[in-house]
Structure 1
Amino acid sequence: MRRDLQGAALTLLVKEHRETKVRVRIDRGASFRIIAPSMLHCVMSHPSTPSQPPVRLVMRFLLEFMIGMCPLLARRHGSDIVRGILFLTIAQANRPRFAEIVRYDTPTTALRAISVNALAQSIGLPYETARRHVLALTRAGICVREPQGIVVPNSVITSPVFDDFSIELHALFLRMMRRLKAVGFDFDDFGPATPEPLPPDQDSVRPDAAVRHVVIDFVLRMSECGRVAHENDMVRSLVFTAIMSANAAPYTLDNRAWKYASLAQSPPESERLPISVSNLAKLICMPYETTRRYVEQMIADKDIVRVKGQGVINPQVSPRDALLHQSGTMVMSRFVQLVSDLKRLGFSFETLDMGPHQAAERAARKVG
């Protein structure tokens, strides 16, 4: 069952299969697809997981996608991944998320400025660190300081540089979705596609950009969910996420993908691929020393363990497991919403694994 809700801020409690409760915040004025709790148990069913949602399986592909985004952001922001994430956060905070999702050219008067303090709190950065990055973004002409706070102007959002980034991100997203489909993930379980009519002002509508906008919004919402398990520390969450993603590489695409699909099916440590600190730093485009400090702290906290001569892995049992399971279930809920919103925009999951000519022929046959 799905419902559209609009209006004042609401809190939805989605009950996970082991009494974990997940909070999904709905902002004022936005329209969301709300997925009934029972749906998380039945969507994407597979013979090996008849009663559990495949949270681990989905997370493996999502984490791979998130880590793949790091170099795309970093190389456009002086090789600084934190600054790149800050830029995206500001740009998305300035613009309506779902109310006008098909528009990138939001009128300047409708942009919602965000203060440095609110920005720092939203992604778990120290105020001074956020202020320093905002100052650099402002000096580069990427952000503008308004009386109410910081804004990424339309000239930046519609620039070739940002367009190139969104195109690359979109390609990375499609790759992830194809890989999900390749392991037997069925998007049809989310219900039939019901494309949403485009607004009458066709001149300002870019359907391709609408999909990219939804994807960027999902990236930031997923980042929020990930920080739940890490005291709202964005950098720690990113480092831990990269370790998890690297550890899971051996069984992401092989016949173990569904064997370790649900939260109840944790892969043994012997099957996890360790990653060294130097490779980890390169993977997330972060300075080696910063990465090393976070790794050492997580080892001290027993969140990860060192495999002698090979690197680090996240253990099969961790003191943070309850929070990690809560975070994973939140991400799953967001992913269900993402697929639903993409279907509203007419995104075709049927043609994911087709070439452009095959997809065009299929679309033409449907019209005919």
Structure 2
Amino acid sequence: MTQGPDRGPGLPPVDDVRGSRLVSRVAVDFVLRGVGEAAQLFDGDMARAMIFMTLAQASVVGDRKASHEAAIYSDGVISDAQRRPVSTMAVANALSMPRETVRRHVNALVEMGYCVRLADRRLMVTEDVIRRPEVTETIHRTMQHFRRLLDLLKREQII
């Protein structure tokens, strides 16, 4: 498919209603499945799953050096030395959630051992947490959902 206005390569043009709706539908399906997979780590609590995923992602996103360093590890996990701690307020802002709600969930995540609170009160999901069998399995299941999304978009000639 050609590049449309304000679209990346491979995405349907703005005036391709069918293609745009299909992309929207499968993208939302992927997001919901991914959050649902993560929620299983927390007895189905989707808010806690979103906060956990945001903490894990915020500490490594945008850091090309950390992404490059991850290639050193056979499992692709970025080392704690390359991670950036995140504040509760940054998570609350990223998710448009009340700070107090995020704080309560963060306290539970710390208590459960899914993240650590550093001396400066910022938070980090450590490489050991990412390597836990239940987290690794969740990542693998999410990857299967992502492959399903790509297969559907290829089959429909969107990409």
User: Normalising to structure 1: TM-score of the pair?
Assistant: 0.37
Counterpart amino acid of residue 283 in structure 1: A
Counterpart CA distance in 2 for 1:308 and 1:266 is 24
Runs of 5+ consecutive residues of structure 2 not aligned to the other structure? 1-6, 12-16
Counterpart CA distance in 1 for 2:25 and 2:103 is 34
- Corresponding pairs, count: 147
1:264 to 59, 62, 75: 75
Partner of 1:137: none
Change (3 A) 1:268 1:258: closer
8 Å Cα contact 1:211/1:345 also seen in 2: no
Counterpart CA distance in 2 for 1:240 and 1:287 is 15
8 Å Cα contact 2:56/2:124 also seen in 1: yes
Q: Which has the higher strand share?
A: 1
Q: CA deviation at 1:250?
A: 4.8
Counterpart CA distance in 1 for 2:57 and 2:103 is 17
Counterpart CA distance in 1 for 2:148 and 2:43 is 25
Counterpart CA distance in 1 for 2:130 and 2:158 is 40
CA shift digits 1:189-244 (9 cap, x unpaired): xxxxxxxxxxxxxxxx8232122211111111122222222222101101101101
| Identity between Structure 1 and Structure 2 (%) | 24
SS in 1 for 2:128: coil
Partner of 1:278: 89
1:334 to 132, 138, 145: 145
CA shift digits 1:101-151 (9 cap, x unpaired): xxxxxxxxxxxxxxxxxxxxxxxxxxxxxxxxxxxxxxxxxxxxxxxxxxx
Q: Which has the higher helix share?
A: 2
Counterpart CA distance in 2 for 1:290 and 1:299 is 14
Counterpart amino acid of residue 124 in structure 2: I
2:57 to 245, 250, 254: 245
8 Å Cα contact 2:26/2:149 also seen in 1: yes
Partner of 2:133: 322
8 Å Cα contact 2:77/2:130 also seen in 1: no
Partner of 1:289: 100
Counterpart CA distance in 1 for 2:130 and 2:87 is 22
8 Å Cα contact 2:88/2:102 also seen in 1: yes
2:28 to 203, 216, 219: 216
Q: CA deviation at 1:325?
A: 0.4
SS in 1 for 2:86: coil
SS in 1 for 2:129: coil
CA shift digits 1:299-343 (9 cap, x unpaired): 122211112226100122139811110100001111111111001
Counterpart amino acid of residue 257 in structure 1: S
Change (3 A) 1:214 1:336: same
Q: Which portions of structure 1, spanning 4 or more consecutive aligned residues, are displaced by more than 6 angstroms?
A: none
Q: Cα RMSD between the aligned structures? A: 2.7
1:225 to 33, 37, 40: 37
8 Å Cα contact 1:305/1:312 also seen in 2: yes
Counterpart amino acid of residue 123 in structure 2: V
When Rg is computed on C-alpha atoms for both structures, the one with the higher figure is 1
Counterpart CA distance in 2 for 1:287 and 1:273 is 22
Counterpart amino acid of residue 333 in structure 1: Q
Q: CA deviation at 1:263?
A: 7.4
